[in-house]
Amino acid sequence: MSRSYFISGIGTGVGKTITAAVLTQLWAAEYWKPIQAGDLQQTDSDTVRSLSDKVKQIHPERFRLNLPASPHEAAAQDGLSIALEDFELPVTKQPLIVEGAGGLFVPINEQHFIIDLISRLQLPVILVIKDYLGCINHSLLSINALRTQAIPLAYVVFNGNFKPATRSIIHTHLPAHTLSIDIPEMEMPEAAAIERVSEHIKQQLN
């Protein structure tokens, strides 16, 4: 389905959930977080629900794990194991935004990583980038990993403020036809801010 994507990041805490909220608002999309590790009282699904009033449906997580850790560790702590075969895309009527856990090489078991889950689900990727010391390296490694596994990189999201030199070098090494989206710095995102940003992005992409 067009405009169905897997959101990953160059690391943890770079803004995947905020990006998911913005894009579900922008495209009136459905949302799915396959693995939630930790924060079960306020999940990423709960956050998207509170920030995007246009999200059409939020699909239940396949795994809800107690420990805020990599899925393979959190699952082991809960006496569970995760296999790629556990995941199938939900049936949807609208575009679907799927949010991963951490970055591409976060392990879901001893052999497989988030990037393997993306390959199984056969969705193009939206890669979220935040500017910090080391983000160029993490960004280019992520871009190269997607290229190596022939996973399309549809968008990169520059989340927050960026040094011009950082943004420029990442842009230089994007695959052809990859689009970029800018999300401004938001310390305390609220639904009204998410709506404003989604309208701004609509203008960027038109």
End-to-end CA distance of the chain: 20
Q: Is 28 helix (H, G, I), strand (E, B) or coil?
A: coil
Residues taking part in catalysis: 33
Find tokens 């699904």 and name the residue.
45
Question: Which residues make Cβ contacts (< 8 Å) with residue 140, sequence separation at least 6?
Answer: 170, 173
Rounded to the nearest 5 percent, the helix, strand and coil shares of the chain are: 35, 20, 40
Q: How many residues are there in the chain? A: 206
Q: Contact, 30 vs 97, CB < 8 A?
A: yes
- CA dihedral 1→46→7→12, nearest 10 degrees, is -170
Question: Which residues make Cβ contacts (< 8 Å) with residue 40, sequence separation at least 6?
Answer: 64, 66
